[in-house]
Structure 1
């Protein structure tokens, strides 16, 4: 994912969002959000419909004024500054290309009010065409382009004015799955080459994890967690984040024993006490959430020897997805656990690790169990 790229990110916040709220009558769209985004960062606002992410993006752009709080960009207070005077540009989900203009003229359109000579304008357009690999299609009109090509033109037009910040509102939503995956790599490469701070809004968790160096997970107008893809997936700080990011098995539990290096948690739904390697200290008697990712669970026909956590059940359902198979295992308590198995070898249906109604054993490492206190 993008977090491994050697982006030249500085420590001082380039965008400061301080205690920003937006209300519409009795409805609160954004609720006291504070975020610091660094220069040169690819930052994602991630959440479901109605979580406030698009409203927050529109406040950054200047299309919507905060009800309270302040926004700074590159040290400048944005209060009262209209969209056209902000050091930002926005790429919309619809791309909003002019159908009667060629690719070249679409890209050049935003430069007509810039203090550039005709030669400088032509050179800037040429640079943008090269950047998005559209030079050979400069004379075409939008209806002659594929969805991915139109997306590149919209990106080039947004970048042509050399904004300090590029805002992207669900930029890949109109593309099919394979093209979306390809374009994600292209976007991260372009962001790295230009060094421009990108802020993207998306409801697609995979897209956010692929694109962004850091992600803010939003829910009901608030930011629930900020971190890298690894941090929010492997170390969610609450049940909402654990449930929203990826697939997860989640149950209620009660801490029976707790020390700095080990913990035992009773999970009634599993009729078992689980051994856990704690990430943070909780006390005996505390009520907690117990989360376990499907890919962290091992499935076997025989009871595993030496496993700290082992449960038995029957295969209630299974699905084959090519690269992996998903098993739903029903325990004697009625609880169902999802287990994901990578199909690392070519096998037939009869060679699967288990079939419907087979009795199997599940095991998992103590460090794979996530304990949630919120």
Structure 2
């Protein structure tokens, strides 16, 4: 389901040539500490762009510089062709939605949404019409006279979103917007956010540490670490074609193997992997050559598991060291002859009873993978 959703997102991703937001060589230092280092990014109009990384990677600092709450030590930020250097936060066509939502507890939902329009040049009738439009957009009209403590966490999140969009900003910044919600509500709200963004056409920039959230929500992702952008791409590109061990390891589950390129013929590379006890076949990447040290990485869902040896070049024998049953799938920890443990995810496509699993603890099993499923990394 997630793959089909992302395919649709990729298909409708905006294709504007000129960047709507240009972050040009931006660095931010706090004393001797560099929070953001020489970041350059182009963001298209109308897309949902995610800054993804762990705590302290610089993503929120970058967001605050876009909002005007922090000033870059070096570099410039352009929004819709205008240089924002020196422009105060209140004069920027930007609204920032905080993780806490920052709703006024003594105000009704309607008054919270209207508060952002307090200083706009509008008549009372225009202001009321805008508030009504925003409440309809987030499907909260029936809750307009309730106060924040009288509605759910997901509804409070939508109130904050309605208030942010009421001023019709060119850019909406969302700092961990769904972190306060439980898993099921978070999943539901992700699709609501996508739907609202599609209806308004507003450019969204989302900061998150949640890889799955970034993959579902965004058209493109920038993966950050230690103040630097490590890779930018669509969710499909980031997940399927990471260009470093850091990015591959940060997004989803993966197992790394040290190897050496034995040969390259056309688009096929034979990789000598000591942990496999021989060579395996993988899709070659540009620039590799025989004799080169390389990392081969495998994601759990790309590996097939069975009790009999499969045909093909990528057959590896091992023993089930551990397993976990998650209902829709099972995770097998398979110990290879070298002692290395490889994670394998097997979808439970049919109902089975006890003792009917693909394999059980201590069973000898065979693993296999398609050459195109192996990720080759040179850094």
TM-score bracket, normalised by the shorter chain, equals: over 0.9
Q: Which of 105, 109, 112 is equivalent to 1:103?
A: 109
- Aligned-residue offset at 1:270: 2.5
Distance in 2 separating the partners of 1:9 and 1:176:
34
Name 2:290's counterpart in structure 1.
284
Name 1:339's counterpart in structure 2.
344
Q: Which of 325, 328, 345 is equivalent to 1:323?
A: 328
What TM-score do you get using the length of structure 2 for normalisation? 0.97
Q: Deviations over 1:94-128 (max 9, x none)?
A: 00000000000000001010000000000000000
- Aligned-residue offset at 1:260: 2.6
- Aligned-residue offset at 1:7: 5.1
Paired residues for 1:1-374 under 5 Å: 1=5, 4-5=8-9, 6=12, 8-305=14-311, 307-374=312-379
Q: Deviations over 1:321-347 (max 9, x none)?
A: 111100000011101100000111111
Distance in 1 separating the partners of 2:87 and 2:265:
54
Which one is further off, 262-271 or 135-144?
262-271
Structure 1: gaps of 5 or more residues: none
- Aligned-residue offset at 1:300: 0.6
Distance in 2 separating the partners of 1:172 and 1:349:
38
Distance in 1 separating the partners of 2:337 and 2:13:
50
Decide whether the 8 Å contact of 2:275 with 2:336 is kept in 1. Answer: no
What TM-score do you get using the length of structure 1 for normalisation? 0.98
Q: Label 1:155 to 1:3 Cα distance change in 2 as closer, same or farther (>3 A).
A: farther
- Aligned-residue offset at 1:153: 0.2
Helix, strand or coil at the partner of 1:13: coil
Decide whether the 8 Å contact of 1:31 with 1:222 is kept in 2. Answer: yes
Distance in 1 separating the partners of 2:240 and 2:6:
17
Helix, strand or coil at the partner of 1:97: coil
- Aligned-residue offset at 1:259: 2.9
Helix, strand or coil at the partner of 1:231: helix
Distance in 2 separating the partners of 1:358 and 1:33:
50
Structure 2: gaps of 5 or more residues: none
Distance in 2 separating the partners of 1:50 and 1:322:
35
Q: Deviations over 1:113-145 (max 9, x none)?
A: 000000000000000000000000000000101
Distance in 2 separating the partners of 1:2 and 1:43:
14
Distance in 2 separating the partners of 1:183 and 1:2:
16
Distance in 2 separating the partners of 1:162 and 1:3:
29
Aligned residues: 373
Distance in 2 separating the partners of 1:102 and 1:369:
54
Task: Give runs of ≥4 in structure 1 deviating > 6 Å.
Answer: none
Q: Deviations over 1:37-74 (max 9, x none)?
A: 00001100001111110000000001011110100000
